[in-house]
């Protein structure tokens, strides 16, 4: 079927197609040879090929109709451990493929599960170990509880190198018949921080603007990243709390950004050179931003936590005279 999203179209289908992560691939191929595997935990930053490798592994293990034997779940989308339990139970009941004595359960973003849910997951892993193996995917392995880690073979995915990313991008350009200049590809690597998914998204979008040039790459990233975060920070610093809060609400409600995403972007903006604050104030702010991020997880309403941060910014804006851009017309 025609696949028009490049991230999917050019996703490696087999382990042989995976060009980086050699360590991981070698070990996984051993499991395929033995037709047996322990539970697996794939850990590493976004866009390093964890999900891709999991699918390629299943493909090499079962053949092209591997999807019959792979249950794909996403901890962020499933509503609670009970839903996961029901699905796993249902899946484990049906027959296993002839030559492999188990089926695979892929649980993406499993580090988003609470510790309690992970305890329940651990029991599930034990209960159905005869008929299934779990592949857990996580950005932060430290957020996976110890007893689960100890039951899994842990695979660490390393950030992709510049050569890997640029090489892949230029291969895609060739396949698509798109003209792209090397500087542009390097710029994409710089902006994507080794995240292949992001890199390919930028590439496809830049190509859709006409050509993959350095200026188009910057244009894409500028368009795709809401400028509202920076605007919100500046508005709060200028003392207009209500307006800043309105921007926050539009980011959360209309864009659907989570509080954690927003606070991480705020942190990035504040430590960047774009916002002119004295260095010691940046340190003070870093402490408070961290506190708010912690409370976001503990609290019930993300907006109220971020409102407190905006109010703090207004205090700082008033103290550090000259930082706050004067409001026009008042």
Partner 1 sequence: MSVSKVPWVIKYRPRKLSEFVNQDEAVEKIKAWIKEWLSGLPEKKAALFYGPPGSGKTSIVEALCREYGFQLVEMNASDYRREQDIERVARLASVQRGLFASRRIILLDEIDGLALAGGADAGAIEAIVELIETTKNPVIMTANNPWDLAFRPLRDLSVMIEFKRLSKSNVLEVLRRICAAEKLACDEKALDFIAEKSEGDLRSAINDLEAVAEGGGKVTEEIAKQLLRARDRILEPFEVVRKIFWSKYVWQAKLNATQTDLDPDTLMEWINENLPRQISDPEDLWRAYEALAKADVYRGRIVRSGSWDLLTYVTELMTAGVALAPKNDPKSKFRWVKYQFPEKIRLMSQTKEARALRDSIAGIIGARIHASKAKVLKDVLPYIKVIFENNVEEAAKIAISLNLTDPMIKYLSQDKADKIIARVKELRKAIRAEARKSESGREDVQKAGRKSEESGRAQQAKSGLDSFVKKTRS
3-class DSSP assignment, residue 68? helix
Torsion, Cα 288 291 293 298, to 10 degrees, reads: -150
**Alpha carbon distance 122, 26 (integer Å):** 27
> Is residue 245 at the binding interface for partner 1, with CB under 8 A as the rule?
yes
> Is residue 256 at the binding interface for partner 1, with CB under 8 A as the rule?
yes
Query: What is the nearest approach in angstroms of partner 1 to the Cβ of residue 197?
Result: 7
> Is residue 55 at the binding interface for partner 1, with CB under 8 A as the rule?
yes
The phi-psi region of residue 277 (left if phi > 0; otherwise alpha if psi is between -120 and 50; otherwise beta) is beta
Identify which range of 70-78, 79-87, 93-101, 164-172 contacts partner 1 by CB under 8 A.
70-78
Residue 251: closest CA among 264, 236, 261, 239: 261
> Is residue 12 at the binding interface for partner 1, with CB under 8 A as the rule?
no
> Is residue 321 at the binding interface for partner 1, with CB under 8 A as the rule?
no
> Is residue 255 at the binding interface for partner 1, with CB under 8 A as the rule?
yes
- CA-to-CA dists, residue 19 to 167, 171, 195, angstroms: 10, 12, 15
Q: Which residues contact 13 (CB under 8 A, 6 or more apart)?
A: 55, 56, 59
Among 41, 84, 138, 314, binds partner 1 (CB under 8 A): 314
Nearer CB in complex with partner 1: 114/151: 114
Count CA atoms within 13 Å of residue 105 on its CB side. Answer: 26
Query: What is the nearest approach in angstroms of partner 1 to the Cβ of residue 90?
Result: 18
Residues lying near partner 1 in the complex (CB under 8 A) are found at: 1-5, 7-8, 46, 51, 55, 72, 74-77, 108-109, 177, 197-198, 201-202, 204-205, 208-209, 220, 223-226, 239, 241-242, 245-246, 249, 253-258, 261, 292, 295, 298-301, 303-305, 307-308, 311-312, 314-315, 317-318
């Amino acid at each position: 079927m025609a696949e028009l999203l490049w991230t999917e179209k050019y996703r490696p289908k087999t382990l042989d197609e995976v060009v980086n992560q050699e360590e991981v691939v070698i070990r996984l191929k051993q499991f395929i040879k033995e037709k047996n595997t322990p539970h697996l935990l794939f850990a590493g930053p976004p866009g390093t090929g964890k999900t891709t490798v999991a699918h390629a592994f299943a493909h090499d293990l079962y053949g092209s109709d591997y999807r019959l034997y792979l249950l794909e779940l996403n901890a962020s989308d499933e509503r609670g451990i009970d839903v996961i339990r029901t699905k796993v139970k249902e899946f484990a009941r049906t027959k296993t493929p002839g030559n492999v004595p188990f089926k695979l359960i892929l649980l993406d973003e499993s580090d988003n599960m609470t510790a309690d849910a992970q305890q329940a997951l651990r029991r599930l892993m034990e209960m159905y170990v005869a008929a299934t193996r779990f592949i857990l995917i996580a950005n932060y392995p430290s957020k996976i509880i110890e007893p689960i880690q100890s039951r899994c073979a842990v695979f660490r995915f390393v950030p992709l190198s510049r050569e890997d990313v640029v090489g892949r991008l230029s291969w895609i350009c060739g396949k698509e018949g798109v003209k792209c200049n090397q500087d542009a590809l390097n710029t994409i690597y710089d902006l994507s921080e080794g995240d292949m998914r992001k890199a390919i998204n930028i590439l496809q979008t830049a190509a859709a603007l006409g050509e993959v040039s350095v200026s188009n790459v910057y244009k894409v990233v500028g368009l795709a990243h809401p400028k509202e975060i920076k605007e919100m920070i500046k508005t709060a610093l200028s003392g207009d709390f209500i307006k800043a809060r309105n921007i926050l609400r539009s980011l959360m409600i209309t864009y659907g950004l989570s509080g954690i995403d927003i606070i991480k972007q705020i942190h990035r903006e504040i430590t960047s050179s774009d916002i002119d604050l004295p260095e010691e104030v940046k340190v003070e702010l870093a402490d408070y931003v961290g506190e708010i991020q912690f409370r976001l997880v503990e609290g019930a309403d993300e907006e109220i936590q971020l409102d407190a941060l905006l109010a703090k910014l207004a205090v700082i804006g008033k103290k550090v005279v000259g930082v706050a851009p004067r409001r026009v017309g008042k």
